[in-house]
Each structure stands twice: as structure tokens, then as C-alpha cells.
Amino acid sequence: MHIQNISFSKVQQFSDRDIHYQTKPEDFQEFIAYMPTETELIRAASDRKSFPVDRALLREVLLDQYKDVGLHPLQKEHIDLLENENTFTLVTAHQPCLFSGPLYYITKILSTVKLAAHLNKSQDQFRFVPVFINGSEDHDFDEIGHLNLFNKRVSWQTGQTGAIGRMSLEGIPEAIREACDILGAGDDAQNISKLLHNSLEKSADYNEFVSHFVNGLLGHTGIVLCMMDDVRIKKAIIPIIKKEVLHATSQHLVVETQEAIESRLGYKPQAFARGINMFYMTDGQRARIEKEGGVYKVLDTNISFSEAEMEAEIESHPERFSPNVVIRPLMQEAILPNVAYVGGGGELAYWMERKSQFDAFGLFYPCLIRRNSLMILSKSQSAAIEKLGLQVEELFEKEDDIIRDFLQKQTDVELDLNEEISMITKAMSLIADKAEVIDPTLKPAVLAESSKIEKQIEQIESRIRRSLKKQEETQVNQIKNLKSKLFPGNGLQERTDNFLQYYVLFGPQIEQKLMEELNPLDKAFKVFIDK
């Protein structure tokens, strides 16, 4: 495979803030603690030693979570290393999407694994362990309950509600069957089928299914999966839960930072901070907590607590309290000896709103690293691009612009009539000036005629382009097809296509190729081109 780097600034699907942070992170210095560089990551590790965590508890929880999943030797080595005070984590996280959901679910894990490997090789002062947090408490089923394989949508059909990780496997066998039918009967497809069916057979709920599936696919890379929906973890963060629920600590700090970001850099708030940024969670339900007067109410239920009752409930059942996006980062840093969060542009945008909040909770604020973004071109797609005489970077332009430039290359005639319009407009202006000398009322009439002529010429240009487009109809349709496949819905491939289709297309070696080339410290959009 050939690799081509594309400048982030040329990827129109990225937000202005995302491009800005990737290309000029120094402009965000007020809102981050460390620049996203290797040197700063090492400095972060040195500083992190002043923020100890319960490493024995962490090892106990991780080993227990892997008890029925099975540890790859490298994962066991990584978990054992976490007991050493000079070992730190690099974290990424995502909701438990169906069969890994969009492509970037897998590539963000591989980005984190590669960053850890790079740092471990480049220095010997510290050790770094890649960790993937399965956001199993999320309840946004519409976002995670489907995947796209070869332009076909596979959905998890279930009426369950509440935390997704706690859901039963109702509907998963049907989704597996549908996905396997689409993937086909090849050897690599059969390997995926076995993994999905084995994960189903060994699991009692969706949390366990995700653990088995991700571990079976990527466990050999050494990635360590961690689930925060664990009573031992929740007990360890009782002080955070109390401070947020009983004292509404976060909202004003986050809002102040959001206002500062908008004032200094012009970017709108990314996450909505509430008075209480915690949910009350039971099986089948995850509902917001609001305080009205002196009473804490769990919305859409009959559950309420006085302040004393709420404090007692937190002490007795911390596992019933689940963070929203404003508190979730705090939990990770309280439990893990973490130095960096590796995430997408949207994720880093809400992390940037947290610095003063972390300070208020007495927690370490990690380095924010933009994960790798990428696109994969099949052999047929790269051949089509070459046959059309296009460059890969041209495909990142708007479809109309690509077609316009392509058509211009097919003829020696200049299709753009702006120069001719300019000449006629100038001539009509001179005529208008002469007419004005004779009769001032004639000038507006002449200029109106000039405007009509300009529009007529634009229509002529449009007809010329349509005629040429019809002559080149086959090639124009090929461009449209390429654009729709590589930028589905005018978005990025990595946000729509599922990794499993590329595993089937290229075999397991696609994962190795991604691992070789990805490194989130390399700030380019990477295009993997099969030749």
C-alpha cells in the first residue's frame, strides 16, 4: 500500500477549530496544559507523578474485568507494568458501537497503541500503556445501534433502554447474521463470523460482548480495555460524585471557560454543562438528576432525595451514579495514571473546556492529542483515479469544482467566460458614460442592458459546460461515484464505513499496515492507497 499525506487544512469536512488545533496548537495555550508533542508528553509524565492513583486497585479491577475474556501476554505485561510508579497510560475512549461502528473506532485505538509504542521506543525514563475505555454507560442508542458495511446498514433491533453496556443480547444474533451475510463467505469473512459468534456465546450482556469482540480483534496489540461501570471504580470516585451532585461544582467553571474560548478564539461551546452533570442509573434506566429547592429529583421517575438522603445514597450505591460528558473525563483521570487523551476533534473540543474544572477537583489535566484520521482506497478506486487523470488531493475539493476542473482539462477551449464578461461590462460602462453626457436618464438603462448581457453570457457558459459534461458523461459519473464512496454524505469515510469491510477486502494485514503508518504526533490526514 502507498501512503499519501494530505494537509489537515485541505480536508473540508473538519471543523475550523479542529484544523486550528492540529495546525497551530499554541493558539490554545491558555486552555491546555501541554502542547501535543513528544517532548511535552514526557514532561506531562514527570508532572503526573505528583498526582498518584491507587495502582493496586486499578490492577485488581483490570485483571478481574479480563477474567473471563482472556489476556494476551502483552496485555498482561501492560497491566503488571501499571503497578510501577514510572508507568503511565495513554487513553482513548468511545461508546460501545455495534461491531465497532465507524472506522475511526478502530483507528483511534490503533493510534493510541502506536503512540505508546513510539514513546516506549524513543525513551527509557517512563513506560506508557495504551488504554481503551469502553463508554458502556452511554444511553444514546440511536448513535451506537448500527453500522455500515459496503453501503448497507445493519441495525440492532431491540426495545431496551438505559445504559447500553448493561443491555441484554436480545437482537444481537440477528444483527450478527445480517452482518455476516453482507461480509460474504471468504476466509477472512469467516474469521470475523467466528469472532462475532464466539463473542456472543461467551457473553451474558452487551458489555461482555464488546470486551470479547474488541479483545479478539485487537488484544494482540496490547491495548488494555477498561470499563468504568464497576462498583470498585465508582467507590474510588465518591468524592467526585459528591462534589458534583451536592455542590454543583462544574457548571460555572465550564461555562466561564467556554466564554473565554469564544471571546479569544471565536469558537462556540462544545458541551452543555448542567447544574448537576450526573445521571442516576438503574438497569433499564439512566436519568438526569436535578435539584429543585432542597430536593434532588431523578427526572422521569418518582425517585427523589433530600440532601442527607442523597449523600447517603452516594455512599451506599455509587454504582448508581453515572457521569455525563462533562464529568466523564474527571473519572478517567482519577482512576488511571494518565498523561494524554487521544481523541477526535469534537472530543478534544470539549476537553479544552475543562482545565479550571480539573483544577477545582484537584485532578491532573492531561495532554490532548488529536487521533489520526485516514481514508482507504481500494485497488479499483486508485486505478479509476489514475485513469481519470486526477490527483488524490483533488478529491478533497467540492464535487462541482472537481468536475469543472476535469472538464477544463478535456478541451483546449477556456470554459470560463469571466474575461469576456469583464470586457463587455467595461465596454457597456463606457457606452453608459457617453449616453449620460447626452441624456443622464439613459445611463441606468444602458447599465441594465449590460446586466442582462452578463446573465446571457453566464447562461451560454453553462450550456457549453453542460454540452461538454454530456460528452464526458461516463467520466463525470465515475467522479461522482468516487466522491460518494470516499466521502459518503459529503462526510469522511472513517465516520461511516465499518472496519470489518476493510478487513474482508484486504485481510488481517490491513491492521498491521495501519499500525505501521499511524502516529498521532504526525499531523497529517493519511490516505492508504492500494496499487
CA–CA dist 86, 247 (Å, integer) = 34
Q: Is residue 203 part of a domain?
A: yes
pLDDT of residue 471: 64
Residues 357 and 234 both lie in one domain: yes
The secondary structure element, H or E, covering residue 153 is strand 152-155
Q: Is residue 93 part of a domain?
A: yes
Q: Looking at residue 275, what DSSP letter applies?
A: S
Q: Is residue 123 part of a domain?
A: yes
Owning domain of residue 158:
2-238+324-373+509-529
Instruction: Point out the residues of the chain with pLDDT beneath 50.
Output: none
Residues 364 and 435 both lie in one domain: no
Most distant CA atoms of the chain, gap in Å: 97
Residues 453 and 331 both lie in one domain: no
Question: Would residue 99 be called left, alpha or beta, if left means φ above 0 and alpha means ψ between -120 and 50 degrees?
Answer: left
Closest CA relative to residue 358, chosen from 270, 207, 254, 269: 254
Q: Looking at residue 362, what DSSP letter applies?
A: T
Residues 479 and 345 both lie in one domain: no
Q: Is residue 56 part of a domain?
A: yes
All cell numbers assigned to 32: 491546555
Q: Is residue 98 part of a domain?
A: yes
CA–CA dist 337, 212 (Å, integer) = 25
How many other C-beta atoms lie within 10 A of the C-beta of residue 69? 18
Residues 398 and 331 both lie in one domain: no
Residues 165 and 125 both lie in one domain: yes
Closest CA relative to residue 341, chosen from 90, 46, 23: 90
All cell numbers assigned to 325: 460528558
Q: How many residues does the chain have?
A: 531
Q: Is residue 275 part of a domain?
A: no
Residues 331 and 464 both lie in one domain: no
Residues 167 and 90 both lie in one domain: yes
Residues 40 and 82 both lie in one domain: yes
Residues 133 and 192 both lie in one domain: yes
Radius of gyration for the alpha carbons in the chain, expressed in angstroms and rounded: 28
Residues 219 and 365 both lie in one domain: yes
Residues 362 and 422 both lie in one domain: no
pTM, full prediction: 0.89
Q: Is residue 131 part of a domain?
A: yes
- Number of domains the chain contains: 3
All cell numbers assigned to 308: 442527607
Helices (H), 202-266: 206-218, 231-236, 238-247, 250-265
Q: Is residue 252 part of a domain?
A: no
